[in-house]
Structure 1
């Protein structure tokens, strides 16, 4: 499970750990971990505390890649995302001066998704 997300022919394969007591219809296959790069992040907003606050806007944070020098052009984090919701491409972040800055989100190893609505599992021609 640590190597997720898994794809087969560009489609996301969702699996979930079970204890054995569940009924099959009670198991919701809606979440998968993804690595997300936060680009265009101001230098004074790159601490782990700031990144955790940004990750709270996405979904549940699993891991933050360490940035020892603090000079990387982006920060990378792993979040458990609800795949039934649209992907977010940008986030508004308030810097230390109180100005709102738009940061770009880039997802790694994404499966097939719709560029119009941002939801995984269908393309633009099948979007309603």
Structure 2
């Protein structure tokens, strides 16, 4: 609504009175800036209607790990979640993505200088497992290089503790959810044949097995034809158990 109203205003000519600026004074600030340092804003990427009472359970005030002080619905499907400290807020973001009834509960740091229409909720931070890597190449630099094919790399985890390398590398990335999930990356080496490295996502919310987008199921997909016996390009195998 606000976007359409602003667009309409851009076509108009204003009087001198309408262009007089109103100066913000300290007593006009509803929420102190320091409170935003302990808060998140969120939106459930979901086609069905939401039950706000159920959503409260995601960040129960009694939770020892989150210490949530409260969750408030600012507008339909737009929430402000207040925590007791910036550290507790950071813990929620680190362990994400969050979900509500299997749908992605998109979260961003609250910013006192942004309106509710300035949040896109388009990027998800998630741990990605990269499989089929030669043991000699299970390094942080390669994890960064491969992870960059999926999204913006936040941190890597080659799991070299106690000499246990494991069967995959982990990298936490921020990726654009307006694009289909990436299913693999290709590893090219000068001394060997290029190999495909399958990907799996940890804590992956509901996504479509037809188009690969997060936020709806195959039954609600607007672009995937419903054909009996059809083989889909995406599947539950993308979700790390």
Query: Normalising by structure 2, what TM-score?
Result: 0.50
Distance (Å, rounded) in 2 between the aligned partners of 1:66 and 1:50:
10
Question: Within 5 A, what are the aligned runs for 1:91-110?
Answer: 91-110=185-204
Tell me if 1:117 matches 2:211.
yes
Change (3 A) 1:74 1:40: same
Alignment of 1:1-128 (within 5 A): 1-68=93-160, 69=163, 71-127=165-221, 128=223
Question: Unpaired segments of 5 or more residues in structure 1?
Answer: none
C-alpha separation in 2, matches of 1:90 and 1:66? 18
Within 1, Cα distance between the matches of 2:172 and 2:186?
19
Between Structure 1 and Structure 2, which shows a larger proportion of helix residues?
2
Q: Comparing both chains, which one has the higher relative contact order based on Cα–Cα distances under 8 Å and sequence gaps of 6 or more? A: 1
Q: CA shift at 1:36, angstroms? A: 0.7
Distance 1:70 1:22 in 2: 45
Structure of larger gyration radius: 2
Q: How far apart are the structure 1 equivalents of 2:120 and 2:96?
A: 17
Equivalents in 2 of 1:83, 1:125: separation in Å? Answer: 19
Shift of 1:32: 1.6
- 1:86-109 per-residue CA deviation (whole Å, 9 max, x = no partner) reads 111111111241521100001111
Counterpart contact for 2:129–2:170, Cα < 8 Å: yes
Deviation at 1:43, TM superposition (A): 2.3
1:41 to partner: Cα distance: 1.2
Is the contact made by 1:40 and 1:103 (CA closer than 8 Å) also made in structure 2? yes
What is the count of residue pairs matched by the alignment?
A: 128
TM-score normalized by the length of structure 1: 0.90
Shift of 1:79: 0.9
Deviates more, 1:70-79 or 1:50-59: 70-79
Deviation at 1:72, TM superposition (A): 1.8
Stretches (4+) displaced over 4 A: none
